[in-house]
Homo-oligomer: A and B are copies of this chain.
């Protein structure tokens, strides 16, 4: 017997309600029955996105939805400003390059958040910038970005603000309308507690002006087609039916808990995880802008980071994430996002203690669990 604990920044664990929904017999998508599902999904997404505008669903991963943003906003030769503070910021740059969009990059040291003043300066220096690409939570480093501050800057310029909120939406606060986010991208396998396979994208009226003018080639991701279909509570292509039916269940749970309570739960889990890392003497990778969805900690000297993650997973069934790209082997990433609560975190930290002890790391056994418990007790 072995139980599995998933503490990774996507996919996150699935609630039993979601799993049961996917096991139902399938229904056809061009029926009044499925239209009712679509209606509920659309309403629920507006609640989670905190927008009164349209949120489009794509049968794709989050990256597909990011590509949809690029191909719908631009024509070849247009200029975008990309905030690049990790692997997922780099994805925006790669997408722009793939489509002949000039990417002006603000390179931020991994583990730090961008200084919004730099965005203001860049927009002032280059009025040709049509869009600013940001990342709500940079999963590769655990850093959260101050979207509210950036929104205030971009709002009064001709540029639109695009937020990759794949990691973070439904787990930490992101007010699409109030913070003037013109496009918010997300995926199903993080805060929304679903398997991967659905991409989401919201579009403000300001974004739609660019969409109308965009000349980049597109078909499957054409948001004008998506909008036309959405107006008839339909989808332009065969939707990922079971995932959307499961989405309705997840959205019901989110509505029931309420976004504010969910954000508070994530904050508490993050505080507990950070306290545990501190108790273990593990340095946070992003001490100044740590997100409430994933905590990246430096692997202590003398410990093999890849082996640590592997042992936790393959010997004890607790899956956390290691480092990506330049951080491979150098950090461990402990996710606390989606269908995860207090005692999952305790289990994960306990397993981390066990394997660190087995690997000969010196610390006081139980100290990390105790530190986390004290946060949860408050």
Contacts and interface: CB of A to CB of B under 8 A. Distances in A.
15 contacts: A6-B25, A11-B27, A13-B26, A14-B25, A19-B22, A22-B23, A31-B319, A59-B61, A59-B196, A60-B60, A64-B237, A67-B219, A99-B219, A197-B243, A240-B243
Contacts of A22: 19, 22-23, 242
Contacts of A6: 25-28
Nearest to A324: B30
A126 B56 CA distance: 41
A59 to B, nearest CB: 5
Given A28-B8, A242-B197, A217 B100 contact: yes
A1 B246 CA distance: 23
Contact of A95 (B219, B241, B313): B219
Given A217-B216, A220-B63, A241-B11, A4 B25 contact: yes
Question: How many copies of this chain sit in the oligomeric assembly?
Answer: 2
A61 B238 contact: yes
A111 interface: no
B19 A20 contact: no
Interface in A169-197: 187, 189, 195-197
A229 to B, nearest CB: 13
Interface string A38-68: 0000000000000000000001111110010
A51 to B, nearest CB: 24
A26 B6 CA distance: 8
A302 interface: no
List 10 tightest A-B contacts by C-beta distance, closest first.
Answer: A197-B240, A23-B23, A195-B242, A22-B22, A98-B219, A19-B23, A63-B237, A196-B238, A61-B238, A99-B217
A187 B240 CA distance: 11
Contacts of A98: 217-219, 222
A72 to B, nearest CB: 13
A238 B189 contact: yes
A94 interface: yes
A355 to B, nearest CB: 16
Contacts of A360: none
Given A11-B28, A59-B64, A95-B219, 20 more contacts: A4-B27, A6-B26, A6-B27, A11-B27, A11-B238, A13-B26, A14-B26, A19-B25, A26-B195, A28-B319, A31-B319, A59-B60, A59-B61, A62-B238, A64-B220, A67-B219, A100-B217, A195-B241, A196-B241, A197-B240
B25 A240 contact: no
Interface in A209-251: 216-220, 222, 237-243
A109 interface: no
A316 to B, nearest CB: 14
A191 to B, nearest CB: 15
A10 interface: yes
Interface string A266-298: 000000000000000000000000000000000
A187 B67 contact: no
A239 B63 CA distance: 11
Given A28-B11, A196-B240, A219 B59 contact: no
Interface in A318-352: 319
A306 to B, nearest CB: 12
Contacts of A14: 25-26
A99 B27 CA distance: 33
Contacts of A319: 27-28, 31
Contacts of A99: 217, 219
Nearest to A64: B220
